[in-house]
Amino acid sequence: MASGSAVDPEFLALPLGKLAAAALERARDFHAEHADFRLERLRSQRLTLRDGLLLDASEGDDIGFAVRVVIDGTWGFAAGNGLTVEEVVRVTEQAVRVAMVAKPISLERIALADEPVYHDVTWVSPYELDPFDIPVADKVELLGEWSARLLAAPAVDHVSAVAYQVRENKFYADSAGTTTTQQRVRIHPTLEAYGGDSASGIFDSMRTIAPPVGRGWEYLTGQHYDWDKELSALPDLLGEKLHAPSVAGGTYDLVIDPSNLWLTIHESIGHATELDRALGYEANYAGTSFAVLDGLGSLQYGSPQLNVTGDRTTPHGLSTIGFDDDGVATQEWDIIKDGVLVGYQTDRRMAHLMGWGRSNGCAFADSAGHVPIQRMANVSLRPAAADTSTTDLISQVDRGLFIVGDKSWSIDMQRYNFQFTGQRFYEISAGQLRGQVRDVAYQATTTDFWGSMEAVGGQQTWVLGGAFNCGKAQPGQVAAVSHGCPSALFRQIKVLNTTAEGGH
């Protein structure tokens, strides 16, 4: 078990083992080479305030189950929500029929990579306060107080505050004998201040850079993040941004804060090293990948300072779990080592297809109604061994920009040509920060960008960023994922003035 928290007793009270046994026994009647049963409960809550007033308080509570089978080398899948033995048997038979119907058009024989059997294992993510145990009124009161604090500042005209909370329970059992029960909690609070400058006609915003995390409500109490410091700084940062000069387009050295760099990692490395994209099996949500299999072990993805790992084990990571939806124990592995592509993200089917031994545990379905697919791990950039600070990196720049916070992005269908903006940008001159500029976007190809990375910060600059809303597949699925990274220094990157570009 990953923490001292207990699995929701309401979930444990469901007939988990009885329903799983019914599904697996019926699948055996049809001589299934593999069968698994997954029962999920997904609770979610989103609180939205505008100018300190509650605009929306929405909750979701979805429960259901899914059965997968491999019959004569062909997948079958079906799902339902009636938690009775009769319904589970019916759905299992439906999954079997799907496999039988699909067999004539199946282009490859499905087999799964070997995995040890895990008997009756429980895993719970580390958190202290289950957000669903906190009264809604108390949450709204806190968000309202924070909003009022921002609204009191002269530079702030409007404030939005959002807190999105999820508790996910999964029970998994398969025909090999693995049985896992898991619970994980995650939370994403954001506050955004809006203001305008009447003289220039500029209206803009400044958002908090606190990342979403695999924690509970304690994240908002100041124990694990300095909300007081961030909220105190936000109005002045917005005011400076409103009056900042527009950037001159050109080539700059960039020092990028983890609050911005995590998204570049996500789009240009995370998605590009999903094996199903690299093999051409997946093309939804921005295409396949330039990082094709022929480059494994030889593609120079970036500079020697680029060392990237995949994992589903980092404490408080949004993709962190004990076992994936293939029943694989999660782990950590290298994706890029010394700048060279050395690994991909896999599930059991893909790992067997490639003859690579075990899967690295990347199967995930966002609900009982969806089939598990290969989803992104926590894909993270390693920090330097040296005790290099962000200030140290800035001191190495004669003319450049320091970029903080994520905003918009664009990337092509091969995960190669991209453009990113941010929350705030500071001019760097002679190794010193000189104040904010605005209207900035940086543009590059994936290999040129990572190849230009000259240095990374040490462990003290490393931050675990991420998002709740990574989309993939058709029908679409959404997954939460984290990306840890230090600050990093990039040389000679093309910078656009977005206002000037928008007029073209």
pLDDT tens per residue across span 404-439: 999 999 999 999 999 999 999 999 999 999 999 999
Instruction: Residue 151: count other Cβ atoms within 10 Å of its Cβ.
Output: 15
CATH code at 146?
3.30.2290.10
H or E segment and range at residue 504: none
Confidence of residue 501 (pLDDT cuts 50, 70, 90): confident
Domain boundary among 232, 264, 289: 232
Give bridge partners of residue 497 from the DSSP assignment.
Answer: 440
Q: Kindly state whether residues 276 and 223 are assigned to the same domain.
A: no
CA distance 307 to 380: 8
Quote the pLDDT of residue 504: 57
Q: What are phi and psi of 422, to 5 degrees?
A: -165, 180
Instruction: Residue 369: count other Cβ atoms within 10 Å of its Cβ.
Output: 17
Residue 4 falls within a domain, yes or no?
Answer: no
CA distance 185 to 121: 18
Q: How many helices and strands (H and E) does the chain possess?
A: 11, 24
In this prediction the pTM is: 0.96
In which residue are the tokens 């090999």 written?
176
Q: Which residues lie closer than 8 Å to 190 by C-beta, 6 or more apart?
A: 160, 161, 162, 207, 208, 210
Quote the pLDDT of residue 5: 76
Give bridge partners of residue 427 from the DSSP assignment.
Answer: 401
Cβ pair 214, 318 in contact under 8 A:
yes
Confidence of residue 181 (pLDDT cuts 50, 70, 90): very high
Q: Which residues lie closer than 8 Å to 199 by C-beta, 6 or more apart?
A: none
Cβ pair 162, 177 in contact under 8 A:
no
The model's pLDDT over 453-468, given as tens digits with 9 standing for 90+, comes to 999 999 999 999 999 9
Q: Kindly state whether residues 152 and 272 are assigned to the same domain.
A: no
Q: Kindly state whether residues 140 and 286 are assigned to the same domain.
A: no
Cβ pair 48, 161 in contact under 8 A:
yes
Give bridge partners of residue 453 from the DSSP assignment.
Answer: 490
Q: Kindly state whether residues 225 and 264 are assigned to the same domain.
A: no
Cβ pair 187, 219 in contact under 8 A:
yes
DSSP result, 423-438 = SEEEEEETTEEEEEEB
Secondary structure (3-state) at 343:
coil
CA distance 394 to 296: 34
Residue 3 falls within a domain, yes or no?
Answer: no
Query: Helix, strand, coil: what percent of the chain each, to 5?
Result: 25, 35, 40
Report strand pairing: 399-404 vs 250-256.
parallel
CA distance 493 to 245: 20
Provide the token pair at 61: 């509570």
Q: Kindly state whether residues 174 and 286 are assigned to the same domain.
A: no
Nearest residue to 205 (alpha-carbon basis) of 374, 29, 407: 407
Q: Kindly state whether residues 325 and 224 are assigned to the same domain.
A: no
Residue 316 falls within a domain, yes or no?
Answer: yes
Residue 242 falls within a domain, yes or no?
Answer: no
Cβ pair 166, 467 in contact under 8 A:
no
Residue 111: which domain range? 9-232
Quote the pLDDT of residue 1: 46
Residue/partner pairs of 224-229 with CB below 8 Å, 24 or more apart = 227/146
CA distance 262 to 482: 8
The model's pLDDT over 56-80, given as tens digits with 9 standing for 90+, comes to 999 999 999 999 999 999 999 999 9
Nearest residue to 259 (alpha-carbon basis) of 492, 496, 487, 498: 487
Provide the token pair at 210: 């606190």
CA distance 361 to 338: 24
Q: Kindly state whether residues 188 and 315 are assigned to the same domain.
A: no
Quote the pLDDT of residue 72: 97
Residue 163 falls within a domain, yes or no?
Answer: yes
Residue 14 falls within a domain, yes or no?
Answer: yes
The model's pLDDT over 468-481, given as tens digits with 9 standing for 90+, comes to 999 999 999 999 99
The model's pLDDT over 231-270, given as tens digits with 9 standing for 90+, comes to 999 999 999 999 999 999 999 999 999 999 999 999 999 9
Confidence of residue 208 (pLDDT cuts 50, 70, 90): very high
Provide the token pair at 462: 């490393």
Provide the token pair at 81: 């929500």
- Mean of the per-residue pLDDT values of the chain: 96
Quote the pLDDT of residue 96: 98
Residue 436 falls within a domain, yes or no?
Answer: yes
Q: Kindly state whether residues 329 and 417 are assigned to the same domain.
A: yes
Q: Kindly state whether residues 280 and 189 are assigned to the same domain.
A: no
Number of structural domains (the chain) is 2
The model's pLDDT over 261-285, given as tens digits with 9 standing for 90+, comes to 999 999 999 999 999 999 999 988 8
Q: Kindly state whether residues 366 and 297 are assigned to the same domain.
A: yes
H-helix segments, 115-187: 136-151
The model's pLDDT over 115-164, given as tens digits with 9 standing for 90+, comes to 999 999 999 999 999 999 999 999 999 999 999 999 999 999 999 999 99
In which residue are the tokens 């997948």 written?
75
Cβ pair 427, 433 in contact under 8 A:
yes
| Residue 194 predicted with pLDDT over 80 | yes
Provide the token pair at 401: 């920009």
Q: Kindly state whether residues 26 and 175 are assigned to the same domain.
A: yes
Secondary structure (3-state) at 291:
coil
Residue 238 falls within a domain, yes or no?
Answer: no
Cβ pair 171, 180 in contact under 8 A:
yes
Provide the token pair at 453: 């990375």
Q: What are phi and psi of 253, to 5 degrees?
A: -80, 140
CA distance 496 to 491: 15
Cβ pair 71, 98 in contact under 8 A:
no
In which residue are the tokens 């619970």 written?
183
The model's pLDDT over 395-409, given as tens digits with 9 standing for 90+, comes to 999 999 999 999 999
Q: Which residues lie closer than 8 Å to 374 by C-beta, 6 or more apart?
A: 274, 275, 276, 282, 345, 346, 347, 350, 362, 363
Give mean pLDDT, residues 2-21.
89
Instruction: Residue 194: count other Cβ atoms within 10 Å of its Cβ.
Output: 18
Number of residues that make up the chain: 504
Cβ pair 68, 35 in contact under 8 A:
yes
Q: Kindly state whether residues 301 and 217 are assigned to the same domain.
A: no
The model's pLDDT over 27-45, given as tens digits with 9 standing for 90+, comes to 999 999 999 999 999 999 9
Provide the token pair at 271: 């998605």
The model's pLDDT over 342-376, given as tens digits with 9 standing for 90+, comes to 999 999 999 999 999 999 999 999 999 999 999 99
Domain boundary among 201, 232, 263: 232
